[in-house]
Structure 1
Amino acid sequence: MAQVAVTGLGRWLVLALAVMIGSMITPRAGTAQVTAFKQAVAEAAAKDRDIAAFYKANNYEGIWTGNIGKDRRRRAALFDAIASADDHGLPTRRYDPEGLMAKLKSARTPRERGFAEVEMSRTFLQLARDMQTGALIPSRIDSGIKRQVPYRERVSYLTNFVKSNPRGFFRVLPPKTNEYARLMKEKIRLERLLASGGWGPKVPAKTLKPGQSGNAVVALRNRLMAMDFMRRSASQSYDQSLQAAVQQFQLAHGLATDGVAGPATMTAINTSVQARLQSVLVAMERERWLNSNRGKRHVLVNLTDFSARIVDNDRVSFTTRAVVGKNQNDRRSPEFSDVMEFMVINPTWHVPRSIAVKEYLPMMKRNRNAAGHLRLYNSRGQQVSRSSINFNAYNASNFPYAIKQPPSRRNALGLVKFMFPNKYNIYLHDTPAKSLFERAKRDYSHGCIRLHKPFEFAYELLSKQESDPKAFFHAKLSTGRETVVQLEKEVPVHIIYRTAFTQAKGRTQYRDDVYGRDARIWNALSKAGVSLRAVRG
């Protein structure tokens, strides 16, 4: 159940600090008091290696609980940052501001103040890391999320904080990408919509088509008006303006833009504001996991959008449709980042062992000449005739042959593949199966990313190093021979998964949770204490 936010919480907490300051030890404390404080700090910090290392290096001096101006400013900045945690979709209850405040206010002795000091640092470290690199550990949520989060050394947060402007330190922690800023803006918009009742009643129909009329069409019209996909209208029929609005909605949700409110479109239209807000909060968490330099030029593959883009200085310079891994246990495309080093024109397909033994070996047991486009090689790299092999003598564990498909237009990789060597054996490539790109939902591969326009993708990559990239590419292609072309400047590749993402101009885009990963992330965020807010703006 969404809760209406209490505005001004951060300001209240900061003002409450003034009440608490009177209980702090005065700067003229005696040696015994100082010793008691330091002993308490050492004792409390011993439970955390990083905090202990910081205070040892700092001679067990406090940074939070004194009466001096610096300590007061640090306290104020921390409580203000906690109050803004909801703005970032972080679990405020994890930082327990009321409990922390109570500890500070009740710290009457140097020893009690020492324990409160360390608790402040512990809370600070949790909040700082959550703001910068996320509240969750991705690999614990889903095995397909291979993302290497750019964690900083925990002790560095404390070390740098004491040297910085306290408020300025917190401001630079969250991602500074335009995507994160736009997601925050969309979050605020949805929170306000939630407070005002959302988009109204759902449409009571599974399918509606142009030319129809009636109560369900009126409900569809009203919902699309509330979503700002069409201007106010009194029409009760599925006319051209309603059809155009449906097409715009479909465009923003990755659906076939036929203007017919079919089952997939109707499901998306009837999705609640709460569900869309959850997608945005998950996207913000994912953005924190990727909070590092992505490269001035990089490739961005969004699995839920079935697309691949080349991005230059935060602007999309090329985009193409993609086919991604099928939603099956051993086929889902993983999420990770790596660096593209080269492309292979007229590639040989080295059939992965999992495919060789699970798919082709059973076929060849039934018919030794099955999949005749493939060739078999022994451990010495010599091609072996099928007539000499008793396929029924082998199983998945002892099959000794490598299977390859030589370069050709029928090759499973098509005529070009793009390599960013990784332990998951995932890459981008062409495909002879072009018809799949006409489908709105495109999860059909074994995990690799198939591109609709691989040649154009290659031209764009080569444009940075060849005066005529198209002619260069086709000169290599026309030989029919496998050719490796190194990229003079390696290009980072980020395979991401976003059910909510933004554009520099235009509407926030929403996609289906094709592998169910975002649902698992939201469940974990919810358990951690993230909640949906309804904000009256």
Structure 2
Amino acid sequence: MTRASAGYLLPGLKAGLFALALGGLAAGTIAGAAQADIPAAFRQAVAEVASTDDAVARFYRENGYQAIWTGPDEVSRQRRSALLAALNETRAHGLPDRSAEVSRLVQLMRQARTTRDFGMAEAALSKALVDYATDLQTGLLVPSRIDDGLVRKKHTVDGATFLAGIRDTQPYAFMRSLVPASPQYRGLMREKLRLEQVLAAGGWGPAVQAKKLEPGDQGPAVIALRNRLMAMGYLQRSAARSYDAALEQAVQRFQADHGLETDGVAGAGTLAEVNKPVSSRLKSVIVAMERERWLTPDRGERHILVNQTDFTAKIVDNGDVTFETRSVIGKNTHDRRSPEFSDEMEHMVINPSWYVPRSIITKEYLPKLRNNPNAVGHIQITDRRGRVVNRGSADFSQYTARNFPYSMRQPPSRSNALGLVKFMFPNKYNIYLHDTPQKSLFAREVRAFSHGCIRLAQPFEFAYALLARQTEDPKAFFHRILNSGRETKVDLEQKVPVHIIYRTAVVSSKGRAEFRRDVYGRDAKIWAALERAGVVLPSVQG
């Protein structure tokens, strides 16, 4: 033992300085020492371990290499205890099990003998806190590495603030504060626990073996449907053997909670959802928790929420949904799926022109123009100066997707592809919300038909709700511009955050979990990535 370290270690350490990692250390450890008194071996060990984490390294430089974990005082003991307890509970958040890391940290602390050992343990505990807090607050995965439609950028956190927080705050309270505070996250945690209990108890019973069941039917399949809906909580206990009114109402409640047409008939789509196993629903909840961690905690006092799997667009004020309408999202093909991201709505355009995206011009319209120059006659073809091109004198057969020199525009009209109003949050993906002349699509159960933008079933009412905060009579204001027929930009005096999300599991304001289909297959990809990162279901844990 060096002379420097002798001043920081006492005899009798063979019993274990950390006393099962939760006990106090003997007097003479690093905490509380002046910077000049901190041994070089301790500083060097901390710097060495922290060299792979800029935030940890910066914290110790700014902190003068004062220890926050390895002291003999009660607060240091509480910090260690609070951290190890949290690391042992990561599975509650749908994160990988970190019990092996806890064992490693305990072993590291138990075996600490020299000043350098203490420095190594100090930095290791700090890195463990930063890793845990970062995963919990911003998510385990990087969205863009999973699917090219996941263009959402995670909000950033500063690991040094976590270390300052555990240093300056009551340790257990601080660790609790790291859990995402959104009602949705807390609700998903509760649903995860509930589903794990259902899974441990054996699930919801046998699947329903039928293609279609409807009121008046009888037989084993009806009984299986009855029993499964009872197990799920949609039907009170009953011995009825027929598809009676009570079962029909239970089916309707199930359909409402799963985004299905509430006709009370258990058709192929409804039965497919009824037969989903508990494990499938549990995966959806765990994926939704990861997705919730990707979102910034500050969603905006007023914000717009578009859930693609639910085919809805909502205006949320102070946590309450104040407006909701059906929506149509991008078709499920590689170049049309709507991306997921957040931005700010800045303005709306009433009586908009539709400036046809280059991809649509070259993939859809150019082949038609080659065959018939008068094709898509409702669209103007313009040159670089904005002049309308004479179709009769143009030879479209000479152009390819690379050298087509024209633009295409559809003037304002009721038949315009954007309808009569569009809502803009300028972004590089060219995505916005808009009206549409194709109103019949909103009656469909699955509404994935667009080129990527979000179509609204009630765009006028959506506009009224946005304008209500800046004009006394938003409806009159809107229609005065609309009736002019002129393309008009209307700025929003206060920008509104827009969050385009994709959730197959949500918890309603009443606290009940609802589920939707994985329209684009993105959640399946996220679950696969979580599994690769070490997340497992209780049924396959050792």
The answer to whether the superposition gives a TM-score over 0.5 is yes
Deviation at 1:341, TM superposition (A): 0.8
Query: What's 1:27 paired with?
Result: 28
Q: Partner of 2:191: helix, strand, or coil?
A: helix
Alignment of 1:85-164 (within 5 A): 85-93=90-98, 96-164=101-169
Distance of 1:79 and 1:54 partners within structure 2: 21
Alignment of 1:240-319 (within 5 A): 240-319=245-324
Query: What's 1:232 paired with?
Result: 237
Letter paired with 1:66: G
Instruction: Tell me which moved more, 75-84 or 448-457.
Output: 75-84
Instruction: Tell me which moved more, 30-39 or 285-294.
Output: 30-39
Query: What's 1:177 paired with?
Result: 182
Letter paired with 2:192: K
Instruction: Tell me which moved more, 370-379 or 236-245.
Output: 236-245
Query: What's 1:436 paired with?
Result: 441
Letter paired with 2:20: V
Q: Over the residues paired in the alignment, what is the CA RMSD in angstroms?
A: 2.0
Q: Which residue of 443, 451, 462 maps to 1:457? A: 462
CA contact under 8 A between 1:308 and 1:320: conserved in structure 2?
A: yes
Distance of 2:234 and 2:417 partners within structure 1: 41
The question of 1:332 aligning with 2:333 is answered no
Unpaired runs of at least 5, structure 2: 1-16
Q: Partner of 2:98: helix, strand, or coil?
A: helix
Query: What's 1:521 paired with?
Result: 526
CA contact under 8 A between 2:23 and 2:77: conserved in structure 1?
A: no
Distance of 1:475 and 1:95 partners within structure 2: 67
Letter paired with 1:93: R
Query: What's 1:367 paired with?
Result: 372
Q: Partner of 1:242: helix, strand, or coil?
A: helix
Q: Which residue of 198, 203, 209 maps to 2:203? A: 198
Deviation at 1:137, TM superposition (A): 1.2
Q: Which residue of 469, 483, 491 maps to 1:486? A: 491
Q: For 1:209-240, what per-residue CA distance to the aligned partner results, in whole angstroms no more than 9, with x for missing partners?
A: 22211001100010011111111111111112
- Name the structure, 1 or 2, with higher relative contact order (CA <8 Å, separation 6+): 1
Query: What's 1:7 paired with?
Result: none
Distance of 1:402 and 1:204 partners within structure 2: 55
Query: What's 2:81 paired with?
Result: 76
Query: What's 1:5 paired with?
Result: none
Calculate the TM-score normalised by the size of structure 1: 0.93
Query: What's 1:530 paired with?
Result: 535
Calculate the TM-score normalised by the size of structure 2: 0.92
The question of 1:341 aligning with 2:357 is answered no
Letter paired with 1:247: Q
Query: What's 2:7 paired with?
Result: none
CA contact under 8 A between 2:22 and 2:81: conserved in structure 1?
A: no
Alignment of 1:49-68 (within 5 A): 49-68=54-73
CA contact under 8 A between 1:95 and 1:127: conserved in structure 2?
A: no
Deviation at 1:20, TM superposition (A): 3.6
Fraction of identical pairs, as percent = 56
CA contact under 8 A between 2:18 and 2:25: conserved in structure 1?
A: no
Deviation at 1:132, TM superposition (A): 0.9
Deviation at 1:507, TM superposition (A): 2.6
Deviation at 1:93, TM superposition (A): 2.7
Query: What's 1:13 paired with?
Result: none
Instruction: Tell me which moved more, 22-31 or 237-246.
Output: 22-31
Query: What's 2:9 paired with?
Result: none
Flag as ranges the 4+ runs of structure 1 deviating above 4 A: 21-25, 28-33
Deviation at 1:207, TM superposition (A): 1.8
Unpaired runs of at least 5, structure 1: 1-15
CA contact under 8 A between 1:246 and 1:260: conserved in structure 2?
A: yes
Deviation at 1:25, TM superposition (A): 5.8
CA contact under 8 A between 2:51 and 2:57: conserved in structure 1?
A: yes
Distance of 1:233 and 1:298 partners within structure 2: 44
Distance of 1:288 and 1:519 partners within structure 2: 18
Q: Which residue of 335, 355, 358 maps to 1:353? A: 358
Deviation at 1:241, TM superposition (A): 1.3
Distance of 1:166 and 1:34 partners within structure 2: 26
Q: Which residue of 381, 386, 401 maps to 1:381? A: 386
Distance of 2:304 and 2:458 partners within structure 1: 14
Q: For 1:49-87, what per-residue CA distance to the aligned partner results, in whole angstroms no more than 9, with x for missing partners?
A: 332222222222321122122221211111121122222
Evaluate the alpha carbon distance shift between residue 17 and residue 523 of structure 1 in structure 2; reply closer, same or farther with a 3 A threshold.
farther
CA contact under 8 A between 2:24 and 2:74: conserved in structure 1?
A: no
Deviation at 1:520, TM superposition (A): 1.1
Distance of 2:485 and 2:54 partners within structure 1: 60
Distance of 1:482 and 1:60 partners within structure 2: 63
Q: Partner of 1:490: helix, strand, or coil?
A: strand
Instruction: Tell me which moved more, 266-275 or 20-29.
Output: 20-29
Instruction: Tell me which moved more, 86-95 or 439-448.
Output: 86-95
Query: What's 1:11 paired with?
Result: none
Distance of 2:54 and 2:249 partners within structure 1: 61
Letter paired with 2:395: N
Q: For 1:23-50, what per-residue CA distance to the aligned partner results, in whole angstroms no more than 9, with x for missing partners?
A: 9564268999933222222222233333
The question of 1:209 aligning with 2:210 is answered no
Deviation at 1:166, TM superposition (A): 1.8
The count of corresponding residues between Structure 1 and Structure 2 is 520
CA contact under 8 A between 2:88 and 2:99: conserved in structure 1?
A: no
Distance of 1:57 and 1:199 partners within structure 2: 55
Distance of 1:137 and 1:94 partners within structure 2: 23
Distance of 2:20 and 2:515 partners within structure 1: 47
Q: Partner of 1:460: helix, strand, or coil?
A: helix
Alignment of 1:399-438 (within 5 A): 399-438=404-443
Deviation at 1:155, TM superposition (A): 2.4
Distance of 2:305 and 2:326 partners within structure 1: 12
Deviation at 1:95, TM superposition (A): 7.0
Letter paired with 1:239: D
Evaluate the alpha carbon distance shift between residue 20 and residue 93 of structure 1 in structure 2; reply closer, same or farther with a 3 A threshold.
closer
Distance of 2:60 and 2:183 partners within structure 1: 37
CA contact under 8 A between 2:29 and 2:70: conserved in structure 1?
A: no
Query: What's 2:226 paired with?
Result: 221
Distance of 1:28 and 1:85 partners within structure 2: 30
Q: For 1:411-459, what per-residue CA distance to the aligned partner results, in whole angstroms no more than 9, with x for missing partners?
A: 0000110011111000000001111111100101000000011111111
Distance of 2:473 and 2:296 partners within structure 1: 35
Letter paired with 2:189: M
Deviation at 1:534, TM superposition (A): 6.5
Distance of 1:48 and 1:244 partners within structure 2: 56
Q: For 1:165-204, what per-residue CA distance to the aligned partner results, in whole angstroms no more than 9, with x for missing partners?
A: 2222222222211111111111121111111111111111
Q: Which residue of 391, 399, 413 maps to 1:394? A: 399
Deviation at 1:17, TM superposition (A): 6.0
Distance of 1:274 and 1:448 partners within structure 2: 33
Letter paired with 2:237: R
Distance of 1:32 and 1:21 partners within structure 2: 26
